[in-house]
Amino acid sequence: MRYVHLYFTCIKRSMISRLEYKKDTVVALFSFFFSNLCSLAAVYFILQAIPALAGYTLAEVGFFYGFSMLPISLDHLFSDEFWLVAYRRVKDGDMDMHFLRPVPVIFQIFAETFQPEGFGEMILGVALIAVCAGQLTVSLTVGALVVLCVGAVFGAVIITSLKVAIAALAFIFKRSGPLLQIIYNFSNYAKYPLAIYPFFIRTLLIFVLPFGLFISLPVDTLLTGAHDPWLLSLAIIGAAAVFFALALWIWTRCERRYESTGS
């Protein structure tokens, strides 16, 4: 309870900081819209050249893309500071103050930044889903709806866990940003039906970097009814629990290795 209160105090602080930099928020929002626009354009250009991708129409592939933005945007809202930890803050010896406070360091990192740009991403995702769904003729079952919600929320937990675990490696290697970026990039390949990949990549995207588990499979459940929604929901929740526990464990192990600079 204390931490809930503390979290909101810190988030309020973060929002006050943001208001000081309205111009920069515009730059960040623009760059983010632009980058999504380019990715979408690429998908659109490719699908213009072929009738359908492994039997999935443009609208269906667009639905995959739109849905992928939901867990990603949720993660974006709450854990953006870990990017800075991975890329710069440990390397620059800029973590001392967190270690001098009587609150868990990982909590302080979560509480350092609340990124309202995530809402922009979420709105874009929902809009894309709406546009694509309008051209689809599938019936929305309760099971499919549940698995999509579970995929979005617990998928965000899994993304955050991966981020925490890899950012923690910076305590050992000084800089883990490039690694984090490259792992994050794998989410791009889960924005398609997994059927297009051979066995080993499917395995990778379901069990190791499980972006496919909570993006592709739930959407596939809606579009083709290929999977049992309830089992899949359970699997996603289970995976989220495992990844989250693992991330916390890795973070605590690595955090102990943090040393300030000598001088």
Partner 1 sequence: MIEVNELTKVFRKPIRGNGLSGMVKTLFSRQYEELRAVDGISFSVPDGEIVGYIGANGAGKSTTIKMMCGILTPSSGSVLIDGAEPYRKRRQVAQRIGVVFGQKTQLWWDIPLIESFKVLKEIYQVSDGDYAERMAFLGEVLDITRFLSQPVRTLSLGERMRADLAASMLHNPRILFLDEPTIGMDVLVKEKIRLAIHALNKTYGTTVVLTTHDMTDIEDLCSRIILLEKGTILYDGPLNRLKNRFGNLKTLTLTVPADVRAETASALSPELAVSREDGRLILRFDADRLPLEQVIQYAFRDLRAMDMKIAEISVGDVVKTILAQQEAADSRADAARNNGGKNDAEKV
Partner 2 sequence: MLKKYKPFLRAGAIDTMAYRFNILIWAGITVCEVACLVFLWLAVYRSGAGGMDAQIHGFSYREMISYVVLTTIFNFVTFNNDTLWNINTDIKKGTIGNYLIKPISYRGKFSATCLGSLLTMTVMFGLPFYTAALVTLGSLGFLPELSFPAFFAHLGLFLLAGLCAALLNDAISYIFGVLCFYTSSGWGLNSLKVTLISFLSGTLLPLAFFPAGLRELVSWMPFAGMSQNPILILMMKYDLAASLRCVALSAVWIVVLELLAKLLFSHAVRKVTVQGG
> Which residues of this chain interact with partner 1, rule CB under 8 A?
2, 5-6, 9-10, 13, 16-17, 20-21, 96-97, 99-104, 258-260, 262-263
How far out from the chain centre does Cα 177 lie? 15
**Closest separation in Å from C-beta 33 to partner 1:** 25
Secondary structure class of 53 (helix, strand, coil):
strand
Six token digits for residue 144: 């499919």
Q: If binding is defined by CB under 8 A, does position 133 make contact with partner 2? A: no
Stretch of 106-114, 135-143, 176-184, 223-231 lying at the interface with partner 2 (CB under 8 A):
176-184
Q: How many residues bind partner 2 (CB under 8 A)?
A: 44
Site string for partner 2, 24-53 (x = CB under 8 A): xx-xxxxxx-xx--xx-xx--xx-xxxxxx
**Closest separation in Å from C-beta 103 to partner 1:** 6
Closer to partner 1 by Cβ: residue 95 or 159: 95
Question: Cα–Cα distance between 235 and 150 in angstroms, integer?
Answer: 10
Q: Is the Cβ–Cβ distance between 164 and 106 less than 8 Å?
A: yes
Question: Cα–Cα distance between 252 and 257 in angstroms, integer?
Answer: 9
- The CA–CA distances, whole Å, from 30 to 24, 36, 117 equal 10, 10, 10
**DSSP 8-class letter at 57:** -
Closer to partner 1 by Cβ: residue 50 or 100: 100
Q: If binding is defined by CB under 8 A, does position 207 make contact with partner 2? A: no
CA angle 165, 253, 260 (to 5 degrees): 95
Q: If binding is defined by CB under 8 A, does position 179 make contact with partner 2? A: yes
What does the buried/exposed string (b/e) look like for 14-38 if buried means 16 or more CB atoms within 10 Å of the residue's CB? beeebeeeeeeeeebeeebeeebee
Among partner 1, partner 2, none, what does residue 96 contact (CB within 5–8 Å per kind)? partner 1
Among partner 1, partner 2, none, what does residue 55 contact (CB within 5–8 Å per kind)? partner 2
Binding site for partner 2 (CB under 8 A): 21, 23-25, 27-32, 34-35, 38-39, 41-42, 45-46, 48-55, 88, 173, 175, 178-179, 182-183, 185-186, 189, 192, 196-198, 200-201, 204-205
